[in-house]
Structure 1
Amino acid sequence: MSYQTSAAPHEAAPLALVLAVTLPTLLAFNQTPAATLYNQLLALAGWGLALLLWARSAPGWRAGLTSPAALAMALLLVAPLSSVAWRGLPLSLGLNATAIIGAGLAVLLLAQGLSRNARNVAGEALCWGLLVAGLFSIAISLAQVFAPGWADGDVIARSGIPGRAVGNLRQPNHLASLMMWGAVAAVFITERRGWRLLLAPLLFACVFTVVLSASRTGFVGIAMLALWGIVDRKLSRSARLTLLATPLMLGVSWWLMSLWAAAGDHAFGAASRLAEGAGSPSRLAILRDAWALTMAHPWLGVGWGEFNFAWSLTPFPARAIAFFDHTHNLPSQLAVELGLPWAGAVLALLCWALWQSWRAAARDDDEAPLRRAALMVVLAIALHSLLEYPLWYAYFLLPACFALGLALPAPAAAGSSPRPASPVPAMALGALFIVGSLFAVWDYQRVVAIYTPSATAQPLSQRIATGQRSPLFGHQADYAAATSDPPGPAALAAARRTAFSLIDARLLMHWSRSLEATGDAEGARYLADRLREFRNPTGDSWFESCAEPASAAAMLQCQPASAVIDWRTLR
């Protein structure tokens, strides 16, 4: 059977791509305990639809399997389930990570394999999606700062940080990255459409919103926009000058917000944020501790998804006192979880892919403007990944993978190959992502019922037992079991499973009590020692009784452990 190598995209395909990029960033509705789960599921479903509609326009997707970017994603794809099989990572966490990475690989291959005509259409649709997402996020941010009463939590998310915008993704840094993507998309679209007079107001709106977010990552991103204006001599003169003016826009935005704050005694989040300093001592501390763990496990790392577990349960007397589940740096995260050889291979392949994209963007052909814009999308989120972990979220990973596929040189099979690849596998994956996302919404309700019970809900113990049977979110139910069940074997098993997701003060307290109840006094003391290191108010209150001689004798956690316990034995 043969397939047309230049099949035109389905007429609904560009709109599907715009919606796949836009809608996940704008959804405010959420249910406890996962604030952005529905945003991620909407991203998976949206990109699944994009795969369905664009698959016939990607005759060269199979040729992209040997590209360095695809090989890097393939190396990452096997990591979560390998940790499930050999490291003890709960299956629910392994399946979640595998689904997101697998979707990223599929989207990357789709973009790489698009025919020439389809690439141009898809690239413009991607940029329209990023611009629309940016414009709506600007409006949401203005409401969060200047009219916080409009934020109802369902249409406009509430900002929990006075004077700062968080967008509907509820994180200032995520909002700043959206603004960087929106700015890149604005440059591409205004250049392509000849709407150059619109670029200055669009970029100012993006920069102003970065100031509203008070994201230090966003401020560095603005410098990247200015650098783009310096380096890219193929942009129009007006576009380059506008990009070079973005630091000035930052200064004007800061001045305007300072006037507003002074006039009405309002909170100006950016001013107080930068008063903390340009760097973050807690982030530097977590990087230092992550490197120590990497040196302790240099060959295979601590295991995918196990940094939180290993770091929280390893003695670090000078540790960052916040509870971190990530190192906030992509190379560091890969190194500590996968080990230096595996992480080094992934990072080397990704750097090779960026170099290929850079060389392709330097060509003087019809696709060069698209490739340069796509490369800027990738570089913007790569910069963010050195300070945060946006690529662990589907609504950032999937557009980034698609942009990387567009930036890379097209495989030969995407041109006029006599044997183009069948679109069926891509279409099947698209359908799987849609069905899987719908199933995940249904499955998640088992956990929602634990934390937000209805008037006719079953007793808590039954709701927890039902949630623990969830194949995708059982670890969320395990947290409820570990912290509400009586100390003992069942609560201990639940604590060990949910600890791979996030360890906090409450979990450490209950985990220690369960170890005590099962006769492991040394383990109970060891976990109490780790809780002391975090200097958390919840833990400090628990240890207050240790100051009383009678209570100190009765509570074994008042005494330190006699030796260091290997964190791997606590799994």
Structure 2
Amino acid sequence: QFSWQHFQLGPLLQRTNLSGLYNNSHNLIFQLAAEAGIAGLMALFTSLGVWLYGLRRTTPSAAHWWGYAALGVLAIHSLLEYPLWYVYFLAIAAVLLGALDETRYRMVQGKGSHVGGRVGMGVILLFALLVLIQLRSAYQLLEGALTGRGVSGKAGTTSPLAQGQLADVQRMPLLSSYAELSQSALIEVNAQGLKDKLALNSRVLRFTPIESVAYRQALLLAQSGQQQQAQLAWEQAIWSYPTGINERKQLEHLAEKDPAHFAALLEFALQKEQEYARAVHNQ
């Protein structure tokens, strides 16, 4: 969500000192607010409040202070970077939060409460295990497809086996966006299957608006005759990725081959490149 908003606001903000994909606010609070809104912040602060309130029951020892210090370092780090996006930081935080937790929840005693609680916990653990197994299987398929595709990622370099693996991963919710990202790199800008290509690239652009996907979106929109949308997409791409030389060359080639669809976009692209250059010069 953060990277998508940053990409869309590029032409409006016109920050020439920033280029590329900014997919994280580098601040846990702001990032959570961007991703989950007020509900996410309430969940975070409520959980932390309950955890901190439970600490009143303990008498801190040297081990406690060491744990608090380590969590404090992670908290400070999370306000200027994003360590908790990496499992080797997240695992440390989770273990320390659990080890230092003093809330002492327990199930209400009553007839059948222990049995019901154990069954419920067993169902949760079984579901989590099934999700992990599916995730591992999907990851192995994705890894196999990418390592067998070749480095270039151009159309025609993917084997039928790799295409089948990507299609299988696409049906698995947790990694489907990554499979589509790989599939979008194989798109050729032409009229064949244009509707499906545009739909796929649009989803990938919303997932991660990287340079190749952003410029390809403009080309596909121009191919489909949506000139205004194509111009907006190209302008957004220029302000995030101003050094798109290969994409400009591709547009020139397409305009020469199919001027009806691409000549107007090429003229617009040249105009916006000049505007960007003037903005850089004036700052």
Q: How high is the TM-score relative to the length of structure 2?
A: 0.71
Measured at CA, do residues 407 and 445 of structure 1 come closer, stay the same or move farther in structure 2, by a change above 3 Å? closer
Give the superposition deviation at 1:472.
2.6
Measured at CA, do residues 431 and 526 of structure 1 come closer, stay the same or move farther in structure 2, by a change above 3 Å? same
Partner residue, 2:9: 314
Q: Deviations over 1:463-491 (max 9, x none)?
A: 54344333332211211222212332212
Within 2, Cα distance between the matches of 1:508 and 1:314? 14
Partner residue, 1:478: 180
Partner residue, 1:534: 240
Give the superposition deviation at 1:505.
0.6
Partner residue, 1:201: none
Measured at CA, do residues 459 and 397 of structure 1 come closer, stay the same or move farther in structure 2, by a change above 3 Å? closer
Count of equivalent residues: 248
Matched, 1:382 2:88: no
Give the superposition deviation at 1:459.
6.0
Contact 1:512 1:528 in 2 (8 A): yes
Partner residue, 2:85: 392
Aligned-pair identity in percent equals 20
Aligned match of 1:411 in 104, 112, 115? 104
SS at match of 1:519: coil
Partner residue, 2:211: 505
Measured at CA, do residues 478 and 509 of structure 1 come closer, stay the same or move farther in structure 2, by a change above 3 Å? same
Contact 1:446 1:470 in 2 (8 A): no
Within 1, Cα distance between the matches of 2:198 and 2:4? 15
User: Considering only aligned residues, what root-mean-square deviation do their CA atoms show, in Å?
Assistant: 3.7
Unaligned runs of 5+ in 2: 151-157, 270-283
Q: Deviations over 1:225-283 (max 9, x none)?
A: xxxxxxxxxxxxxxxxxxxxxxxxxxxxxxxxxxxxxxxxxxxxxxxxxxxxxxxxxxx
Measured at CA, do residues 357 and 527 of structure 1 come closer, stay the same or move farther in structure 2, by a change above 3 Å? farther
Partner residue, 1:514: 220
Q: Deviations over 1:389-413 (max 9, x none)?
A: 2223444334423322332323263
The code of the aligned residue for 2:143 comes to: V
Contact 1:525 1:559 in 2 (8 A): yes
Contact 1:482 1:492 in 2 (8 A): no
Q: Deviations over 1:169-188 (max 9, x none)?
A: xxxxxxxxxxxxxxxxxxxx
The code of the aligned residue for 2:77 comes to: H
Give the superposition deviation at 1:369.
4.2
SS at match of 2:141: helix
Q: How high is the TM-score relative to the length of structure 1?
A: 0.38
Partner residue, 1:444: 139
Within 2, Cα distance between the matches of 1:432 and 1:450? 27
Within 1, Cα distance between the matches of 2:48 and 2:4? 29
Within 2, Cα distance between the matches of 1:536 and 1:335? 29
Within 1, Cα distance between the matches of 2:165 and 2:220? 21
Matched, 1:554 2:259: no
Within 2, Cα distance between the matches of 1:442 and 1:374? 36
Q: Deviations over 1:429-482 (max 9, x none)?
A: 334333432322212233234322289952665454344333332211211222
Contact 1:325 1:501 in 2 (8 A): no
